[in-house]
Amino acid sequence: MNSDKKQIADEIRAKIDAHCQAIYNEEFRTHLGASLIGDKCLRKLWFGFRWVQKAAHTGRKLRLFNTGNCEETRIIAWLNGAGYEVKNVDTNTGKQFKIVDCAGHFGGSIDGVVNVDALGLCLFEAKSNKTGSEFKAFFDEGMRLNKPRHWAQICTYGMKLNIKNCLYICKNKDNDDLYIEPVELDFEHGKEMIEKASYIIGCQDKPSRISETPTYFECKMCDYTDICHRGKQADNNCRSCKFASAVEDAQWKCEKYGIIPKEEIGKPKPCWEGII
């Protein structure tokens, strides 16, 4: 490609990346998510819940995240076509199936439920993964050992909804292979995850981290490495302030001013004092 064409291509790429950052870049999550609670690092979970820093993802990374959402839709369509009707809307509410706990500060959205012969009603969970040792490990080890975060997520869902089995499907993003596992859920593990979430939500001081070394492999990939290990200041907002705490009905309370209006929580304040 000559220099003129490369310049055109680079300009188009930059504009596409900017567009993706605008349409896919999510705001802070208001609750601690069940999809995250299986993470080993308590401090990472706490940093995310307390909004210490908004992740700045590239357009490419955001497209990759969105690919997972697209794959879920495709897998549901394949299951429906194969005669397994996936219901992803709660007929009682008209909205996607959800769980809520810890005074409204913890929860998650379920991909759906499906009836499977010999198992009855099952949770349905769709994931995607690239080719490599991780995808191969599904067949060697099963989902529970290979993806402990996924295991924690579906056990929590199952416990809250009183559904004992899950149909777990992971699609290989490179060659469209499917890993399919009907799995019996562990309600006790789900309860442990609720207790873990309650601890994270109630913490006013930063909990322990997974490693004291920033070069540890999980720390190197973490969005919060500079804050956790190198003393970078947190973002200025009410949730990252030491005067704020999570209270009933998914609300936040300031020691100085009382209940914080939702529209004010994310705004910087002159009275802010960081929790770290």
Phi, psi of 252, deg, nearest 5: -125, 145
Category of 201 on φ-ψ map: left (φ > 0), alpha (ψ -120 to 50) or beta: alpha
Beta 95-96 vs 98-101: how paired, if at all?
unpaired
Each residue of 11-50: b (16+ CB within 10 Å) or e?
eeeeeebeebbeebeeebebbbbbbbbbbebbbbbbbbbb
Digitized pLDDT (tens) for each residue of the chain, 276 residues in all: 788 778 878 888 888 888 877 777 777 889 999 999 999 999 999 999 999 998 777 778 778 777 777 888 999 999 999 999 999 888 888 888 999 999 999 999 999 999 999 899 999 999 988 777 778 889 999 999 999 999 999 999 999 999 999 999 999 988 889 999 999 999 999 999 999 999 999 999 999 999 999 999 999 989 999 999 999 999 999 999 999 999 999 999 999 999 999 999 999 999 999 999
Residue 113: Cβ within 10 Å count: 21
Whether the predicted model's global pTM rises above the 0.85 cut: yes
DSSP per-residue string spanning 168-211: EEEEETTT--EEEEEEE--HHHHHHHHHHHHHHHH-SS----S-
Give the pLDDT score at 185.
98
Please state the length of the chain. Answer: 276
Write b or e for each residue in 186-203: b if 16 or more Cβ atoms lie within 10 A of its Cβ, otherwise e: beebbebbbebbbebbeb
- For the chain, domains (ranges, CATH) are 28-206 (3.90.320.10)
pLDDT at 6: 81
Rounded Cα distance between 190 and 199, Å, is 14
